[in-house]
Structure 1
Amino acid sequence: MENLTKAEEKAMKILWSLERGLIRDVVNGYNDPKPAYTTVATIIKILEKKGFLGRRPIANTNEYYPLIKEEDYTKKYMRSFVKRYFSDSFKSMVSAFGTDEELSTEDMEDLIEHFKNQIERKKSE
């Protein structure tokens, strides 16, 4: 699975939320100023070629739908991100964000609680 460009990711996010739709539905999902219909149509064709979207003919148009779940793409993207920027170490990534001044004490406590729950879940499996 390839990484998406920012433009492709935006179109996919709209289609993931719609579950299926026409190009005009995707255009309507953008904030103002909306991109041109032809621009979105080009992005949709690229996404279809990359295997992210399927299509179903309806009259003289096509309805598009995601072939890849948003959660699956997000996990793959995050793994790639950690590999590129944190030497494939989730620990290094969490540590980097933990030392970031914008991460509040409450956020860190929530993360600790989350990891404690995950440890307990894994131990019970």
Structure 2
Amino acid sequence: MQLSKAEEQLMQILWKKEKAFMKDLIDAYPNPRPAQTTVATLLKRMQDKNFVDYRQFGRSREYFPLVKKKDYFSRQVNGMIKNFFNDSASQFASFFTKETNLSKEELEELRSLIDQEIQNK
């Protein structure tokens, strides 16, 4: 399941805070901040998608993520590789290394990461 751009922005705040009340979430937005009703709608949608949940404290709700940031972005990247690169990690790597203007140092760092993963397998 995917998040909209607005939901992803809110999720980034929640991942950073780990848990937060509505006021804390709104305060974390850059200006102009969204209305409380907008954030409440986003949270409800994200709850329906099983990305967030909350604990009730009297009349206040403390929201927290149900999905780890790493897991979400791993799914996104794997989906992108499947949809745009014929499920080929090498096609993705070729595109990534050619189209992102990486420096020689960055490419060498990538090679080092890959070599380390090969040793771990």
Report the TM-score when normalising by structure 2: 0.94
1:49 aligned residue: 48
Identity %: 36
| Counterpart-to-counterpart distance in 2, 1:6 and 1:31 | 15
* 1:104 equivalenced with 2:103 (yes/no): yes
Aligned residues: 121
1:13 aligned residue: 12
| Counterpart-to-counterpart distance in 2, 1:91 and 1:15 | 33
Pairing of 1:56-71 with structure 2 (within 5 A): 56-71=55-70
Which blocks of at least 5 consecutive residues in structure 2 are unaligned?
none
What one-letter code is carried by the residue in structure 2 that aligns with 1:24? K
| Counterpart-to-counterpart distance in 1, 2:70 and 2:100 | 28
Query: In angstroms, what is the RMSD of aligned CA positions?
Result: 1.1
Which blocks of at least 5 consecutive residues in structure 1 are unaligned?
none
1:118 aligned residue: 117
| Counterpart-to-counterpart distance in 2, 1:98 and 1:60 | 51
Deviation above 2 Å: which 4+ runs of structure 1? none
* 1:82 equivalenced with 2:81 (yes/no): yes
What one-letter code is carried by the residue in structure 2 that aligns with 1:76? R
| Counterpart-to-counterpart distance in 2, 1:17 and 1:101 | 27
| Counterpart-to-counterpart distance in 2, 1:99 and 1:37 | 43
Pairing of 1:28-47 with structure 2 (within 5 A): 28-47=27-46
| Counterpart-to-counterpart distance in 2, 1:101 and 1:89 | 18
